[in-house]
Structure 1
Amino acid sequence: MQRRFRLAVPLSALYDPAMTEPMEIFLVAPPGLEPTLAEEVRALGYVAEVTPGGVSVQGGWPDVWRLNLECRGAGRVLARIATFRAFHLAQLDKRARKVDWAAVLRPDVPVRVESTTRKSKIYHAGAATERIARAITEELGAPVADDAPVALKVRIDDNNVQVSVDTSGEGLHKRGHKEWVGKAPMRETMAALLLRMAGFDGQMPVVDPMCGSGTFVLEAAGIAASQQPGRDRSFAFEQLASFEPQAVAALGRAGGTTPPQFHGFDRDAGAVRGATANAARAGLAAATRFTAQPVSDLTPPVGPPGLVICNPPYGARIGNRKPLFALYGSLGQRLSEHFAGWRVAIVTSDAGLARATGLPLTESVPIAHGGLKVRLHTTQL
């Protein structure tokens, strides 16, 4: 697999952070996981402010690049490039033309504009989109297209206009190496945040008894190996005027190696084959083991206790709820009988199913997941 952004030279030799004004950088998170994302961002060295739907930090373009490459929990990274007041469309048009679009956008790269409006005198989002798009086309010359690789997100709230550029492009859960995906998959970004919420420290072994495509196992192994989650994909920021290829390449670093202590089990042999292939593409084959096995045969791997984490079916979108009580009961029995000293974390939207494990679980705040509200249920055995 091709490795992107690899150039071992100092960032300061290629890009001077003092040349760019600090701006707000917003990292998107599922509602309920904003504090956990803030923990990760602070661990990367930033002062993070939790706001509904994500986390805000201050920084320049090098920080935008680094956060896209290294932050595991963010769904996407938005750079706030302009803010102003506007009470009517003519004022919006006039002030949009004063934005230094050339400092961010390229005249040869198409852009699309997406607007929302709330509690404002400009109440028609479509009209706002048209005015911003026309200002960009006439002032910069950049074409506007619905399928453009660069998206501007315009939010008008209480007559305050906030213009952001989506620097990620495709959602950051698309790491670039997972080809096989099972039913009702969990996004990699959410899995990374739930691992952190469950107490995963990057050192302990991890077991997923119902692993599907291997998301929890691969995220845990990638964290342990200090891999950059964005190392194998492209980003929308590569299409911006502010992009410095050599400076971004300087941010790249190779991951390390880790013992084979990340284990996934699934009764579906096809899922095991898919997860194994995903691990190989991610460069994590040596750190992971995937085995076809039902929950009723679950036993801990040789070695110290660690974390059992899983996202079992909960009947809300796939299948029927009633037969799942036996599955949760079997899981709880195996864990209580064989996993003394292990920490357990179970994702489910159904408190009744969580209770069916018979384990003394503590539930988290509600977390938005695919149109549902799930909770992380945890305990120490």
Structure 2
Amino acid sequence: MTGKTTFEIFLATVPGLEAVLCDEVRHKGFRSPSVVPGGVTIRGGWPEVWRANLWVRGTSRVLARIDSFHVTHLAQLDHRARQVAWADILRPEVPFRVEATCATSRIYHAGAAAERITRAIHETIGAPHADNDDGVLVRARFDQNVCTLSVDTSGDLLHRRGHKEAVNRAPIRETMASLFLRQCGYSGQEPVVDPLCGSGTFILEAAEIAARLNPGRSRHFAFEKLATFDAEAWERMRTVKSERIPSVRFYGSDRDEGAVAMSEANAARAGITDFVTFARATISELQPPEGPVGLVIANPPYGTRIGDKKSLIPLYRALGQTLLARFSGWRVGIVTTESGLAHATGLPFLPPPAPVPHGGLRVTLFQTAPLP
């Protein structure tokens, strides 16, 4: 990477949502976004790396691709890894660790490959090997006899915004929630209602999008430990204000008082209390707020056993009946694992996209056009 002003940057996301992430990345002005399996690539330098971590809602991590070379055996890897300009990227006093993955390559032992790269880095710049997950992560991917070296510039996964300390069972990640909102056509100009809000993820994301709040504004990143980090330039970037007061409000409700309290606490930490309303309410008590129509989006319970799923049908049916009776003109998005549960609502869903992985399951976003 020595002398390079731009390089490839990989923004990871949930498989199946790459095109949605690409749309967000393009909308936020990044150069040459391209959909690839598992994410989106862009071209840029370190400021673009910082900006992607700070701005992009739908990515789970940002990798800086620092080198790529053909390699077929470990001795060759050892030699080639020592030619990488590690001193330009890693700091000698900051611990690091290496993770490797191998696919269809003559180098097939990931542990041995990671060990060779670890030794090369340590003997080249003297940086200590991290004994835990705190160090800077170097990723090596071996595919078709090509080794691609990347540095994880994010650290903690990017759904950890730093605001949602309280969570309920099986919460949807903020990154996925933001992509589902985008998939529903949400751009921050309309009200959003979540009648099964849990810890408030959909409402928090919708309100922050409307208020133009950067998702990474309250946390630290791994790139702050790199030799390429410029603290003054980062501070200038981080403190640029683009916020606005939303023209609409965002409404979450749940029958569980504890979920409502969690959502309110999370909203307070995110600084969006003025734009959101949370209330304890059952599905049958749900009413549309005054004002313009918008989007109803929910992540209802799925049930992991057949008996659970059958017991959930009345909940889905009640949700659909309430929305059809009271929410004329509103669009609806329902995230669930089972088409049978979705169709129990009786809502006129559009043809659904392919399911995507979520917490060991596969979920689908079922959407409607504006309800009659």
Q: TM-score range by the shorter chain?
A: over 0.9
Alignment match, 1:84? 69
Report if aligned partners of 1:113, 1:151 keep a CA contact under 8 Å in 2.
Answer: yes
Alignment match, 1:181? 167
- State how 1:121-200 maps to structure 2 within 5 Å: 121-147=106-132, 148-200=134-186
Q: Say whether 1:225 aligns with 2:214.
A: no
- State how 1:289-300 maps to structure 2 within 5 Å: 289-300=277-288
Report if aligned partners of 1:260, 1:289 keep a CA contact under 8 Å in 2.
Answer: no
Q: Say whether 1:30 aligns with 2:14.
A: yes
Q: Any idea what the Cα deviations from partners look like across 1:175-209, whole Å, max 9, x if unmatched?
A: 01111100100000000000000110211000000
SS at match of 2:16: coil
Specify which of 15, 18, 29 is matched with residue 45 of structure 1.
Answer: 29
Specify which of 246, 249, 263 is matched with residue 261 of structure 1.
Answer: 249
Specify which of 311, 329, 350 is matched with residue 338 of structure 2.
Answer: 350
SS at match of 1:323: helix
SS at match of 2:98: strand
SS at match of 1:145: coil
**Cα distance in 2 between the residues matched to 1:317 and 1:61:** 47
Q: Offset at 1:260? A: 5.7
> Structure 1 pair 359/215, CA: closer, same or farther in 2 (3 Å)?
same
Q: Offset at 1:174? A: 0.3
Q: Offset at 1:374? A: 0.8
**Cα distance in 2 between the residues matched to 1:177 and 1:202:** 20
Alignment match, 2:301? 313
**Cα distance in 2 between the residues matched to 1:264 and 1:104:** 44
**Cα distance in 1 between the residues matched to 2:183 and 2:236:** 31
Percent of pairs identical after alignment? 56
Q: Offset at 1:258? A: 2.1
Report if aligned partners of 2:252, 2:278 keep a CA contact under 8 Å in 1.
Answer: yes
SS at match of 1:322: helix
Alignment match, 2:320? 332
**Cα distance in 1 between the residues matched to 2:173 and 2:210:** 19
Q: Any idea what the Cα deviations from partners look like across 1:64-104, whole Å, max 9, x if unmatched?
A: 00000000000000000011111100000000000000111
Alignment match, 1:368? 357
Q: Offset at 1:321? A: 1.2
SS at match of 2:308: coil
Amino acid at match of 2:16: G
**Where does the alignment leave 5 or more consecutive residues of structure 1 unmatched?**
1-18
Report if aligned partners of 2:296, 2:333 keep a CA contact under 8 Å in 1.
Answer: yes
> Structure 1 pair 317/97, CA: closer, same or farther in 2 (3 Å)?
farther
**Cα distance in 2 between the residues matched to 1:347 and 1:24:** 33
Q: Any idea what the Cα deviations from partners look like across 1:35-64, whole Å, max 9, x if unmatched?
A: 000000000112211011000001000000
Report if aligned partners of 2:189, 2:247 keep a CA contact under 8 Å in 1.
Answer: no
SS at match of 1:320: helix
**Cα distance in 2 between the residues matched to 1:88 and 1:324:** 55
Amino acid at match of 1:311: N
**Cα distance in 2 between the residues matched to 1:299 and 1:65:** 42
Amino acid at match of 1:366: P
Q: Offset at 1:296? A: 1.2
CA RMSD of aligned residues (A): 1.3
Q: Any idea what the Cα deviations from partners look like across 1:256-284, whole Å, max 9, x if unmatched?
A: 22256100000000000010010011000
- Specify which structure has the bigger relative contact order, considering alpha-carbon pairs within 8 angstroms and separated by 6 or more residues: 1
Report if aligned partners of 2:193, 2:296 keep a CA contact under 8 Å in 1.
Answer: yes
**Cα distance in 2 between the residues matched to 1:291 and 1:262:** 11
Report if aligned partners of 2:190, 2:248 keep a CA contact under 8 Å in 1.
Answer: no
Q: Offset at 1:318? A: 11
SS at match of 2:310: coil
Q: Offset at 1:20? A: 4.8
Report if aligned partners of 1:345, 1:376 keep a CA contact under 8 Å in 2.
Answer: yes
**Cα distance in 1 between the residues matched to 2:19 and 2:341:** 26
**Cα distance in 2 between the residues matched to 1:73 and 1:171:** 11
- State how 1:113-128 maps to structure 2 within 5 Å: 113-128=98-113
Specify which of 251, 261, 277 is matched with residue 237 of structure 2.
Answer: 251
Say how many residue pairs are matched.
363
Alignment match, 1:302? 290
Q: Offset at 1:249? A: 1.2
